[in-house]
A and B are shown apart, each in its own frame.
Chain A
Amino acid sequence: MLDNNIQFSPEALNLVNKYIAKFPEGKQKSAVIAVLHLAQAELGGWLKPEIMDYVASLLNIKPIEVYEVATFYSQYYMKPVGKYVIEVCHTGPCWLRGADELIAYFENKLGIKKGQTTPDGMFTLKGVECLAACGTAPVFQCGMDYYENMDNEKVDFFLDKCRQENKVSRPYPVMN
């Protein structure tokens, strides 16, 4: 089910080709993980089926091969989410240093619960597993960036900055 309105920009297509070029000929399937990241960043922030079908066509693999991968990894969003997905680490070491309080502060500021999206579609709040930043707990990730040693003041600053920028923020491999 290909939707002709779904199309990477020329710059993004150039990136896709660079991802593919990292692997030997015929092994282009290996690029699917990076291409899906890029698709989220460039094509609306989450992976609707039409986008995954488009990715399958770019890589010349079956759509089910893309669905299998997309639903396995936790960074892919299979349902609409906010422009900014705030992924707060809630695993042991962060929990020991205030992850629950950090989440509660976000919930309070945004008026939503963990797992929900603000009605204006700006923010989704998620609890995620260890982000490998336990030494600077509590931490969260949003888009490409890590926000470490968090406190309420830093959260306020971060939220204001997002509201000013107001654009979909997702990580993807950047190449020169």
Chain B
Amino acid sequence: MDLLKVTIDGIEIEVPAGTTILEAARKIGKNVPPAMCYYSKLEGSGGKCRTCIVKVSQGSTKDPRPMPKPVASCRTQVMDGMVVLNETSPEIMEARASVVEFLLINHPLDCPICDQAGECHLQDLGYAHGKQKTRYEFKRRTFDKIDIGPYVQLHMTRCILCYRCVFTCDQITNDRVHGVLNRGDSAEISTYIEKSIENDFSGNVIDVCPVGALTDKTFRFKNRVWFTKPVNAHRNCTTDKCSGKVQLWYKGNEVIRVTARKDQWGEVEEFICNTCRFEKKETTDWVIEGPAKVDNKSVIGQNHYELSYDKPVVPPKISLFADHPSFKDDSKFIN
């Protein structure tokens, strides 16, 4: 296959035709534009949140003209000889900061009571690009609350309308009952008439949600995520298309949450069924593989593990599975 050369923030890489700028940046692994709506596993996603915008200062070797406006790196394919400016462009950093400002003006900033806090991409984005003071003086937007069933909690005020949950239900499940309703700044995720989002794979909307708009009702207010410990586990799941590969989130000896495993970009590796997610909350339901890898920038990784993407793997230190063959040294672990 033909490889195309692209330069992003001065770093050159060769990628196959059809690769987007964002995917090329992820391959480089440095100066990766943040993505709030794009999701590599969901067809048609991306382009909406505008946080990943970059400047194309040279379109290609053949046509070196710059692109007139910033482009969404998640939806713009690389051309041979393309030159892209991301963090090295002050205009892009300013534009990104303004996108973050727009995303936050109507956000409730209720992180202290939000279950997503600690693993929220909007929180990370705000921390990286946000301003210390809001310029927005008006009443923040609210929505009528709707109940979407026993498993998923919808907090519409936190939603950034990334559409990931809509794509998920269209592409992973066979029965979408929710969508984006109304328009403009009244647009909202809803079922319109109160309906449960319930089918074998509906729980995945929780994992794809970049913010705290869709959270796990069975985990609600159980614990702050940074006090829990993620462990990789699997079971022989009989649900068609479910991998049965999960992360168990422990508080003491108790499994308080089950999620799919996520990769270093925060994307689900393999989607899981609702039985695995909501009904298997005993350690005995699972074959434990060992502690989950956690990004060393994540608050979740700060206290518990030396294991992370950026550090060499060392033996994990967890008291919980003292009898598990993969855990030997538990002496320093304080629960």
Contact = CB atoms under 8 A, between A and B. Distances in A.
A72 B192 contact: no
A71 B177 contact: no
Contacts of B191: 64
Chain A interface SS verdict (over half): helix
A62 B176 contact: yes
Chain B interface SS verdict (over half): loop
Contacts of A72: 181-183
Contacts of B177: 62-64
Nearest to A52: B192
A71 B183 contact: yes
A49 B183 contact: no
Given A1-B193, A64-B192, A71 B176 contact: no
B179 interface: yes
Contact of B193 (A49, A62, A65, A68): A49
A77 interface: no
B229 interface: no
Contacts of B181: 67-68, 71-72
A32 to B, nearest CB: 13
B179 A67 contact: yes
A65 B179 contact: yes
A50 to B, nearest CB: 9
Given A1-B193, A49-B193, A64 B179 contact: yes
A71 B191 CA distance: 12
Interface in B158-199: 175-183, 191-193
Interface residues of B, number: 12
A11 to B, nearest CB: 29
A71 B182 contact: yes
B183 to A, nearest CB: 5
Nearest to A53: B193
Interface string A35-74: 0000000000000010000000000001111011001100
B187 to A, nearest CB: 9
Which residue among A49, A65, A72 has the maximum number of chain B CB atoms within 10 Å of its CB?
A: A72
Indicate the size class of the contact surface on chain A.
10 to 19
B192 A71 contact: yes
A49 B179 contact: no
Contacts of A67: 179, 181, 192
A67 B194 CA distance: 12
Nearest to B181: A71
Given A62-B176, A64-B176, A64-B177, A49 B192 contact: yes
A57 to B, nearest CB: 15
Nearest to B186: A71
Contacts of A71: 181-183, 192
A64 B177 CA distance: 6
Which residue among B175, B180, B192 has the maximum number of chain A CB atoms within 10 Å of its CB?
A: B192
Interface in B187-217: 191-193
Nearest to B192: A67
Nearest to A72: B183
A130 to B, nearest CB: 16
Contact of B178 (A1, A49, A64): A64
Which residue among A1, A64, A67 has the maximum number of chain B CB atoms within 10 Å of its CB?
A: A64
A64 B191 CA distance: 7
A49 B192 CA distance: 8
Interface string A109-144: 000000000000000000000000000000000000
B19 to A, nearest CB: 32
Interface in A61-98: 62-65, 67-68, 71-72
Contacts of A49: 192-193
Given A62-B175, A64-B179, A72-B181, 18 more contacts: A1-B193, A49-B192, A49-B193, A62-B176, A62-B177, A63-B192, A64-B176, A64-B192, A67-B179, A67-B181, A67-B192, A68-B179, A68-B181, A71-B181, A71-B183, A71-B192, A72-B182, A72-B183
19 contacts: A1-B193, A49-B192, A49-B193, A62-B176, A63-B177, A63-B192, A64-B177, A64-B178, A64-B179, A64-B191, A65-B179, A67-B192, A68-B180, A71-B181, A71-B182, A71-B183, A72-B181, A72-B182, A72-B183
Closest 4 CB pairs of A and B: A67-B192, A71-B181, A68-B179, A64-B179
